Amino acid sequence: MKTIICMLAAFCCLCSAASARDKDTRAYKGPIIDMHLHAYPADGNGPAPNAVCPGVAANLQYDPKTPWPAKMGELMTDPPCENPIQGPATDEEVRDQTIAIMKKYKMKGVLSGPAGRIVDWQEAAPDFFIAGRELSLKRDDVSAEEIETEFVNGDFQVLAEVTNQYRGILADDPAFDAYWAVAAKHDIPVGIHLGVGPPGAPMLYPDFRVQTPLQIEAILNRHQNLRVYIMHAGFPFADDMKAMLYLYPQLYVDTGVLQLAAPREDYYAFLEELVRAGFGDRIMFGSDQMNWPGMIEEGINAINDAPFLTYEQKKDILHDNAVRFLRLEE
């Protein structure tokens, strides 16, 4: 009897050890790829320096007697939270603080913004940045043929961030058909802004329209070789996003700005829904760092602190999925 009890105890210990391995939730400490960085100036979101609170869209208590742009300015000069993410006072500090965080976390990132700023950042930190071509129709006077030339010449590697949504142009608008065709022809990865924008977006950008992930279906159906990632993961349209990820296995998402735009519980509920549906292998980390370098660390911590993610899932989101999407192993 004593022998049987010992054997059962040993078996239980083995089961516990196996269960612990299955639920390994330690933080991921390896190299990181950020799919969503911006080479923006310090005053890219209002007079510098300014700050922003995580969960910025919650509990705004806004009265429209005050113009929304003025209210946004107040929220950034006097942020209503205990630990806001501070922005630097100068353009050089934005660049240097971002690079310092990237060195700390062994990062590489897709960087978009004015071409001159991208070159400046690349020269300051060689091999840290992949050049992204920002594009917004009605704002940028550039043809599909000119975009094609830029990529053929090697000026850029990723067409991102595409922000047509801010000008009322949806993903399947015929005005963008030629650009999609160029991306498909030359196998150019595309990162496009879908879902919602900043709080009060239509009062900041009058043509802004909400856009669900379903809006890109006709494009993915027409160009089935396209590599596309939806920025901000199409938040908050979880059901539409899951439908698109299910139907189009070439589609990926990034987590950009969700560590800032949504209360942490809401971000986690949205992210967990995508992971629980089996799409953890197509979620990529993005910080959407603009003029607040601390957004990068906030975003990394949000992934590492997520109680529902295993170590392997954190590793996938923070690194491995982007390596596969960008074909960096080649």
pLDDT per position as a tens digit, 104-152: 999 999 999 999 999 999 999 999 999 999 999 999 999 999 999 999 9
Total domain count, the chain = 1
Structural contact between residues 165 and 130, judged by C-beta atoms closer than 8 angstroms:
no
Question: For residue 72, is it within any domain?
Answer: no
Could you list the residue range(s) of the whole structural domain that residue 215 is in?
A: 108-326
What is the pLDDT at residue 23? 79
The label of the residue with tokens 């933080």 reads: 27
Note whether residue 15 is domain-resident.
no
Counting Cα atoms < 13 Å in the Cβ hemisphere of 271 gives 30
* Inside any domain, residue 159: yes
Query: Do the domain assignments include residue 44?
Result: no
Residue 207 has a pLDDT of: 96
What gap in Å lies between CA 29 and CA 247, rounded to an integer?
A: 33
SS3 sequence, 139-168? CCCCCHHHHHHHHHCCCCCEEEEECHHHHC
Q: Which of 253, 252, 254, 255 is nearest to 298 (CA)?
A: 255
- Non-local (6+) Cβ contacts of 70 within 8 A are none
For the cut 80, the answer to whether the pLDDT of residue 8 exceeds it is: no
Q: Residue 55: what pLDDT?
A: 87
Residue 61 is assigned to a structural domain of this protein: no
- 65 inside domain: no
Residue 143 sits in a domain of what CATH number? 3.20.20.140
18 falls within a domain = no
pLDDT digits (tens, 9 = 90+) for 204-226: 999 999 999 999 999 999 999 99
101 is a domain residue: no
**CA 70/CA 80 separation, integer angstroms:** 15
Q: If DSSP codes are grouped into helix, strand and coil, which group holds residue 7?
A: helix
pLDDT tens digits, one per residue of 21-38: 467 989 999 999 999 999
How large is the C-alpha radius of gyration of the chain? Answer: 21
Nearest to 224 by CA among 252, 249, 245, 193: 249
